[in-house]
Amino acid sequence: MTSTSVPETWQSISRRKKEEQLSRIPKEWILTEKPGSAVTIYMDIPQKCGLLTKEELRITEEFDATALAEEIRMGRLKSVDVVRAFCKRAAIAHQLTNCLTEILFISALSRAAHLDAHLASGKPPLGPLHGVPVSLKDTFKIRGYDASIGIASLCFSPAKENAILVDTLLSAGAVLYCKTNVPQTLLALDSHNNVFGRTLNPFNTRVTPGGSSGGEGALLAMRGSVLGVGTDVGGSIRIPAMCSSLYGLKPSWQRIPYAGQESGSEPEAAKLAIPASAGPLAHSMRDVELFFRTVTGQRPWEKDPDVLPSPWFSLSSLPRDRKLRIGVVRRDGIAEPHPPIHNLLSQVSASLQSSGVQVIEMDITPLLSQCQSLTNAMFGIYGGNYMFDLLEKTNEPLSPWLAGKLKRKSALPLHKVRELHAKRMELQRKFLEIWRDGRGEIDAFICPVAPHPVPPIDKWGSVSFTSSFVLMDYPAGVVPVKAFGKEDMAGEVEGKSLGRWDEMNRKLWTGFDRSVYLGSPLGVQVVVPRLEERKLVEVMTVIDRAVKRGEKEVGPKL
């Protein structure tokens, strides 16, 4: 007789994966007391829980990545002490927010000790990130660890080789110590899957941490990471950046190596749809710049054929012979922004004008209003069949938010795919015209990240303001500005409904308990022309300084 093995269920795979996770956290780092359901703000728990020493609190709170790199390089801090502090704080953040997937603490501490010995022997640093801990979204493959992206059938299949960006960061001296949670299918704007569960927002557990790099955002928000790397194909870096008061930047897709990731799709499938980008989430703009300067300095185009040969200082930067000209885009023609979003744009505009920047109001709704439907069509060209195949291997159901939104469909025929790309190219051509007005070149524009504040879990509305700039392949980043306060609760959404997306958006304001938003972050999105990442970093820095001018700075100064 022959015996046949019974496939393991997704539930048992999830149990085993969580047991593995817990086993990789030292017992002395386990919280003895968890917050009750009445507690909705977790930000001060790391300081109060008693697990972090005074020095570990100093290391994780008083430095950005740039400063830590300098402290390690000069011998004032040891990498092993820095890495241990962030490993411990990441463990605390995970126990509170469920933000981690793979835990690499043991190998990270071993690498940190090796890097300290390297410097002690008189050798120069490996690179700009020598000894600095860096966290990664779960999609990045690290040899010997899973890249399951929260799909049960992908668990317990360790990667055999590193993603190219992983090797790039290692060659620059970084210490990789954890990977972070994502939504099932990577297509949700929250962060829940059946393997690891749901990630919470430590600023306010009633609102979303965003997605799909939501675990990364929550980890950085709790200072469990000093520099993280996410990916973005519809807003997945910028949305968590807004939700967690972080700086986040999505580059054009050919700028940063993306190869070697797990996306739940067949190899190179995105080339026929819309390619995703990898980029940083950080606590300061100079850390965003450090990431790009470091990665391009490793010449990744020699390993990833998609990356354009482009040393950082060879890229476009701000004009030196005239005033900076920044546009303001207030509407997308799909969902009318809530009053606090309009007020935020006006506040940032006023700060820029006070700083000597020329501000230009722009109306590009005739173009923006076409983007979301085209983007959605291009996301769906494969019908989701490969992802459904992965789920059905263990009879895994869709997450609740996805259950009514995704289903198997037939892949589009080639001529339909061609038609979608033709429409995209025509839109990209028309968008080129927005960068000049009658008075000259527009260097960048600001716009909302979303038409609403950070919403409750699973309530994110339109992604037009983020997905449009993936469709256009424009670099786009987020600058945090303020927290939602009582003064932001005033006002009503005016005018007639623009359609289904607008109706959904109004439900998050009209007749809604606006106190839910209190304390949640508000930020603006900054956009520049294709492949002008250095200009974007410099414009974001100008905006960041303008909105902080006259205010007491928090954390390291730029």
The neighbour count for residue 266, using CB atoms within 10 Å, is 11
CA distances (Å), origin 518, targets 206, 515, 552: 10, 5, 21
Catalytic-labelled residue, pool 236, 245, 462, 520: 236
Give the three-state DSSP class for 481. strand
Distance CA 133, CA 168 (A): 14
* 416 tagged catalytic: no
Instruction: Name the active-site residue from 78, 88, 137, 535.
Output: 137
DSSP symbols for 262-277: --SS-TTGGGGS---E
CA distances from 552 to 287, 318, 484, 544 (A): 20, 27, 18, 13
Cβ proximity of 535 and 251 under 8 Å? no
Q: How far apart are CA 381 and CA 424, in angstroms?
A: 14
Quote the DSSP letter at residue 207.
B
What DSSP element (H or E) covers 214? helix 214-221
CA 468 – CA 491 distance, rounded (Å): 27
In the chain, the amino acid numbered 100 is L
d(CA 9, CA 12): 5
Asked whether residue 235 is marked as a ligand-binding residue, the answer is yes
Q: Closest Cα to residue 171, out of 335, 297, 349?
A: 297
| Angle subtended at Cα 109 by Cα 105 and Cα 114, rounded to the nearest 5 degrees | 150
Catalytic residue among 14, 79, 212, 349: 212
Note if 212 is an active site residue. Answer: yes
3-state secondary structure of 536: helix
Within 8 A by CB and 6+ apart from 41, the residues are 202, 203, 204, 205, 519
> Within the chain, how many helices (H) and strands (E) appear?
19, 15
Amino acid type, 386: Y
233 is in an annotated binding site: yes
79 an active-site residue? no
- Indicate the DSSP class of residue 18: H
Q: Which amino acid is at 216?
A: E
Report helix, strand or coil for 483.
Answer: strand
Residue 499 region by backbone torsions, left for phi larger than 0, else alpha for psi between -120 and 50, else beta: left
Phi-psi region of 149 (alpha: psi -120 to 50; beta: other; left: phi over 0): left
Rounded Cα distance between 261 and 264, Å, is 9
Q: What residue numbers does the annotated binding site for substrate cover? A: 186, 212, 233-236
Q: What residue numbers does the annotated binding site cover? A: 186, 212, 233-236
Active site residues: 137, 212, 236
